Amino acid sequence: MEIPFARLPNRCVRIGDYAFDRHNFHELLRYVERGGFPRWRNEIRPDYVNRMKKQISESSNEMFAGLKFD
């Protein structure tokens, strides 16, 4: 299933039917990185999460500016 993703002109993003400002988009990414609830088993993240973090850290896209993972 493909989920539509779009960057909006007001520095927001749309994921499917949901729109996020940059702050809440960062919170969503941190939530995914932590494993949501109940968290990743033994704090071991799947490869796709590690790839996401690496790509974000190397990105110059302003939507990721200031994003820090704990």
Its domain, for residue 47, covers 5-64
Q: Is residue 31 part of a domain?
A: yes
Q: Is residue 29 part of a domain?
A: yes
Q: How far is CA 57 from CA 13, 16, 51, 52, in A?
A: 18, 24, 10, 9
Residue 28 near residue 20, CB atoms below 8 Å:
yes
Q: Is residue 40 part of a domain?
A: yes
Q: Is residue 20 part of a domain?
A: yes
pLDDT tens digit sequence for 39-70: 999 999 999 999 999 999 999 999 999 999 97
pLDDT tens digit sequence for 15-34: 999 999 999 999 999 999 99
Q: Is residue 69 part of a domain?
A: no
Q: Is residue 43 part of a domain?
A: yes
pTM: 0.87
**How high is the pLDDT of residue 54?**
96
Q: Is residue 70 part of a domain?
A: no
Q: What would the DSSP string read from start to end of the chain?
A: ----EEEETTTEEEETTEEEEHHHHHHHHHHHHHTTTT--GGG---HHHHHHHHHHHH---GGGTT----
Q: Is residue 49 part of a domain?
A: yes
Total tally of structural domains belonging to the chain: 1
